[in-house]
Every structure is written in structure tokens, then in C-alpha cells.
Amino acid sequence: MSEEPHPRADELDDMSALEFVTLMHADDRNALDAIGPQLEHIAEAVEAIAGRLRSGGRLHYFGAGTSGLVAAMDAAECPATFGVADSLVQAHTVADGREDDRAAGRSAVADALIGPRDVAVGVSASGRTAYVLGALEEATARGSLTIAITCNRLSRMNRGVDIAIEVETGPEVIAGSTRLKSGTVQKVVLNMISTAVFTSLGHTHRGRMVGVVASNEKLRDRAARIVADLAGLSIDEARARLEAAGGDMKAVLAEARKP
């Protein structure tokens, strides 16, 4: 558990800066390795989420504090990366002061009109955040697919959900600071889930961001380079075709593949 003192806690105050960051680096590597045993559950979640989204469902994250911020980051990145609607992946979060409000979690699910086609993902390092527990309980009652991402194998949150992803990261260097290893693995797991889901749904092509919305010069240049690479065009021709298609990379690539 993250609240327990680190095995080397008594040495920390006397460490040099290099010793301190070396210890943190080793801890982070161990935490990432702890994801390995959960890959089957992560893959199961990817397949289940993709199925719900194909049927018109939405993906909802619920979290508080650091976990909520991590979830919000992943949700915010999906439209820009995959070209999906802002409403397809939503993060519902509260600050630490409201994380003990179970009813607020239930209300968040009700207010979002979450139903049987949707997915509710609870993110909590401890697995006992009341706001997230309330959200998962309400989502379950409404027939949604429910997934828990925790760093505590024995947590209450892992019971009663459809899929539990339990990454045991162990004590943090600073006891209880879940922005460290716990936050890192939560971000990595969410990266895996959203990226694999939207790749399976065709929002990428051969490892390229073909759904990206080219809203500025940097992204327009990136889109042109991707189209040129995938379609075998010159960069100038790629730019011209993108301009004619209103920046729709998928349309340009589909046209280029025609015999």
C-alpha cells in the first residue's frame, strides 16, 4: 500500500540528490514491471470497451485527486490524438475534499445519463475512494460495463465490477503520495486502454494518427507528412489533397487507395 513507509524511508533525509533520484527511478521501473501480470485483464478491458463503443456507447472515467487528474488527462488527449468527439471519452472528477462523497459519484453517473451501452472506469490508487465507489455502484445498477483500476489488490473497489485491473506498486518513496508510482502506472494503464481501443476501432492506421484534427500549423504539417508517407505522395501533393478535403486525412487516404 502507498501509505506504508518505504523500506528505505529512514535513509532518505541523508541521501544525495543523485542517490534519491536513482532510488525513485528504480522504484518506477519496478512499478511498471508490476503492470505485466495485469496485461490479460487490460486486454480484456480493451476488447470489452471497444465492443461497447462500436454499439454507440461512451467511455467514462471517474476519479478523485491525483487519480482524477490522470483520468482527465487521458480523456482530454483522445479527441486530439484520435479525432473522436469530445463527448466519447469523458472524465468525471472531484477534488480531494469531495472524494468521501459516495452520493456525488452516483449523481455524476445519473447526470451523465450513463446506460447499458456505456463503460464506467473507476481509477483509485487505494481502491476505497467513496466518490468512485458510488459511481461504479450506480453504473452497475444501470447495466454499464464497469472496470476498476487500482494499486491495491485487496480493495473494495475490485469487488463487484466486471473487470478489475490491480497493479501492486508497493510503498511510495514519500508515504501516501500517490502522484508518484501509483499515478505513473495509472497513466500507463489508461494509455494502453485508450490507444488500443481506438486503434482497434480504426482511428489510427499503421501506427499513425490519421484521425488527428489539423487545427494549427504544426498539426497541418504533421498531417501532410503522414499522408505523404502512407499514400506515397510528395509533401506538396499531400498538402494540396488535404486542403481540398478540408483536412480529412482518412478521406485523402481512402481516395489514394482507390485503383
pLDDT tens readout for residues 165-183:
999 999 999 998 889 999 9
DSSP 8-state secondary structure symbol assigned to residue 83? -
- How many Cβ atoms from other residues are within 10 Å of residue 96's Cβ? 11
What cell numbers appear for 165 in the block? 485491473
The amino acid sitting at 51 is: G
Q: What percent of the chain has pLDDT over 70?
A: 98
Residues contacting residue 225 through CB under 8 Å, at least 6 positions apart: 235, 238
Q: Active site residue: 44, 77, 168, 237, which one?
A: 77
Cα separation, 176 vs 179, in Å, equals 9
Indicate if 99 belongs to the active site. yes
What pLDDT does 199 receive? 96
Q: Which pTM does this prediction carry?
A: 0.91
What cell numbers appear for 23 in the block? 532510488
Q: pLDDT, tens digit, for every residue of 138-153?
A: 999 999 999 999 998 8
Q: How far is residue 25 from each of residues 13, 31, 155, 168, 172, measured CA to CA in Å? A: 17, 10, 27, 17, 12
What pLDDT does 247 receive? 86
What pLDDT does 259 receive? 64
Residues contacting residue 149 through CB under 8 Å, at least 6 positions apart: 121, 122, 123, 124, 165, 167, 186, 189, 190
> If residue 231 lies in a helix (H) or strand (E), which one and from where to where?
helix 217-231
Residue 197 sits at the vertex; the CA angle it makes with 166 and 108, to the nearest 5 degrees, is 65
Q: Decide if 222 contacts 214 (C-beta within 8 A).
A: yes
Q: Active site residue: 4, 40, 47, 99, which one?
A: 99
